[in-house]
């Protein structure tokens, strides 16, 4: 099963049990990044995650933003400039820019 199939299966599981969730999707990449457009991560209301949208460096922050998206119901586009000297100094290895669309999923229980 591909990663996107795993994410979609998690969306269906959340729907079947009535959990609120948000879907983060990479929608733009400029320069170098670990993942490309279309990479997805599901974050549910209990902060469970399925999928990855980076090499591991953005997931925690995106999960925090996803919590507020779940609460507000308002989608957001978050842009990350991965210049390691300007942001985290973590030696990320990909000095590009990544745009991530984080949208609430209105999952009605079947």
pLDDT, average across residues 2-17: 93
In a domain, 9, yes or no: yes
Residue 74 vs residues 53, 56, 57, 106: alpha-carbon distances, Å: 20, 25, 24, 11
Structural domain boundaries, residue 16: 3-105
The model's pTM is 0.86
In a domain, 110, yes or no: no
Strand 21-30 relative to strand 97-105: parallel, antiparallel, unpaired? antiparallel
pLDDT, average across residues 5-15: 94
Q: Model confidence over 21-39: pLDDT tens digits?
A: 999 999 999 988 888 999 9
Total number of domains constituting the chain: 1
Q: Model confidence over 49-101: pLDDT tens digits?
A: 999 998 888 999 999 999 999 999 999 999 998 765 444 455 555 678 899 99
């Amino acid at each position: 099963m591909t990663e996107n199939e795993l994410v979609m299966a998690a969306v269906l599981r959340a729907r079947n049990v009535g959990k609120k969730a948000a879907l983060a999707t990479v929608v733009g990449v400029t320069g170098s990044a670990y993942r490309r457009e279309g990479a997805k991560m599901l974050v549910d209301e209990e902060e469970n995650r399925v999928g990855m949208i980076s090499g591991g460096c953005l997931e925690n922050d995106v999960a925090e933003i996803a919590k507020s998206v779940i609460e507000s119901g308002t989608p957001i586009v978050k842009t990350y400039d991965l210049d390691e000297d300007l942001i985290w100094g973590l030696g990320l290895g990909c000095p590009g820019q990544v745009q991530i669309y984080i949208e609430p999923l209105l999952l009605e229980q079947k």
